Amino acid sequence: MAYDPAVPQDNQLHPALEQTVGAISDPQAQDIAGQAAVDIQQHVNMTTAADVNTEAGNQFVNNLAATKNNLTGMASADPTSIPLALKLANDLIPPLLLHANVDPDTQADTHSAILSHFNQQIVHAGAIRAADFSPDMVQGIIDRYGEHLDDGDADKLTKYATALDGARQMDRTIGTQQAQMDAVRGSQLSAFRVGTSLLDQKRESVQFPDDFAANLIRDQNIQPADKAALYTAVTNLHQNGDQPTNPYTFVQRLQDVVNPGVDVNHNDLMSHVGKDLSYSDAHMLQGLNLTATPAGNRMAQGLLDNVTQAQRYLAGSGSRAGDAAFGRYMDWLLPSYRTSGAAGLDPGSDSYLFKTTSLAQFRNHEDAVPPNPGGRQPLGQIFAGDVVPLNPASSFAPFGTPGNEGSAINQLRNEGGTGTYFGRGNSPTREPTPVRRGNDNG
């Protein structure tokens, strides 16, 4: 039998040791060398046997670990495979023990201990996976295979499954609410984009695209509430024409937009169109309302701060003259602001609206009102143009049809009524209805 260093042999030297001893010619020295060679061979045999046993032990452990991982992985992937995994564990462990040279006297106990551990891991893995589906499924596994679990495992698995089920329900609730919020916001954004088509933005006048109302109803991206809001606005515009903005209505609605505690929907703004908010101003408020970013919130707050300051300065006395001055200011500011954006209120910007303009100018006659930057007409002049429809049957008709006998808005201003709210039924010979402030205009 050839010498195999991996399998130590008794009373046999390694060829290299035999060659070394044989090369010594002195008999006495050869005896000494021979004994040394035997000692060296015994040491090599001991270390080699230890290494072989260690390697075999490591291989056995690795085989057990791989087998356990495969069986628990199967149960984790499909909890219904738990009985198959338990059977395979019982069938696979004995061959592993046999090839590991386990002492026959301890083989039964070793088999029992390893099998018990495997079974516990298999059932536990299957129950953990079943918790992803329902607590009832976990309880079914415990009832059927609970004998394989360690003390306390069943209680821990039950609590885990219950907690996970509660978390899933919370996720569903939050997800549903988020989906609803996203749908509402998506509808509002779609309605805002569709509503933009009602504006000739260059002239800030109302226009009616072909089949606007029918296409609005067909649009599946807009929810019924937002369709109704736009439909109401179009109806009012058709019946009443685009009416001038009551500045106090605008301020109140802007306060609502800025206030995080107030939920402003599309109809809250569109319901004023054709009454006391021009469509340009209502559409602008809707845009500010939909801008939920920090920069957008700062923009809305900055505009509110500006108009609130102007209201206190120009109309703080509560007089008709003060109301008229505040009205002239808002007629100039809002279209100017739409041209410049937030930069118009930034003193450091080239677009700053107050480089050569002050609030004091608006206390004078409207001729002193500064021109609109960028070449856009002031809102009052836009309403005076022949592109703005006014209902001939309205109380404004005696002042002249826009584009023919003069501007209704200019006539109101000449009568000292700029900034005041004229309800239907007023006439040139009657005193204009005073402006309603604050919540009276809500």
Q: What is the pLDDT of residues 295-304, one digit of tens each?
A: 888 999 999 9
Contacts of 351 (CB under 8 A, 6+ apart): 340, 341, 343, 344, 373
Indicate whether 416 pLDDT > 60.
no
- Does 98 or 206 have the greater pLDDT score? 206
Q: What percent of the chain has pLDDT over 90?
A: 52
Output the CA–CA distances (angstroms, integers) from residue 429 to 38, 84, 266, 397, 406, in the order listed. 136, 98, 37, 13, 18
Indicate whether 58 pLDDT > 80.
no
Most confident option among 23-27, 107-111, 234-238:
234-238
Angle of CA points 222, 334, 242, to nearest 5°: 60
Q: What is the pLDDT of residue 61?
A: 64
Indicate whether 114 pLDDT > 60.
yes
Give the confidence band of 306 by pLDDT, cuts at 50, 70, 90. very high
State pLDDT tens for residues 209-268: 999 999 999 999 999 999 999 999 999 999 999 999 999 999 999 999 999 899 999 999
Ramachandran region, residue 391 (left: φ > 0; alpha: ψ -120 to 50; beta: rest) = beta
Most confident option among 134-138, 261-265, 381-385:
134-138
Indicate whether 317 pLDDT > 70.
yes
Q: Which of 201, 215, 208, 184 is nearest to 289 (CA)?
A: 184
d(CA 148, CA 124): 9
Least confident of 169-178, 255-264, 371-380: 371-380
Give the confidence band of 143 by pLDDT, cuts at 50, 70, 90. very high
The pLDDT of 287-292, averaged and rounded, is 88
The pLDDT of 6-35, averaged and rounded, is 66
Angle of CA points 332, 333, 334, to nearest 5°: 105
Least confident of 137-146, 222-231, 403-412: 403-412
Phi/psi of residue 315, nearest 5 degrees: -120, 15
Within a 10 A sphere around the Cβ of 400, how many other Cβ atoms?
A: 16
Q: What is the pLDDT of residue 37?
A: 65
Within a 10 A sphere around the Cβ of 273, how many other Cβ atoms?
A: 28
Indicate whether 414 pLDDT > 70.
no
Q: What is the pLDDT of residue 354?
A: 93
Q: Which of 368, 378, 310 is nearest to 339 (CA)?
A: 378
Indicate whether 10 pLDDT > 70.
no
The pLDDT of 123-135, averaged and rounded, is 95
Q: What is the pLDDT of residue 436?
A: 39
d(CA 149, CA 251): 69
d(CA 357, CA 336): 12
Within a 10 A sphere around the Cβ of 85, how many other Cβ atoms?
A: 25
Helix (H, G, I), strand (E, B) or coil at 3: coil
- Does 28 or 50 have the greater pLDDT score? 28
Indicate whether 370 pLDDT > 90.
no
Q: What is the pLDDT of residue 110?
A: 82
Give the confidence band of 28 by pLDDT, cuts at 50, 70, 90. low
| Length of the chain as a residue count | 442
Tokens 């009276």 belong to 440
- Does 232 or 44 have the greater pLDDT score? 232
d(CA 345, CA 354): 8
Where are the alpha helices (H) located in 23-103, listed in sequence order? 27-77, 82-99
The pLDDT of 57-78, averaged and rounded, is 81
- Does 440 or 181 have the greater pLDDT score? 181
Query: Average pLDDT, whole number, for the chain?
Result: 78
Least confident of 23-27, 71-75, 269-273: 23-27
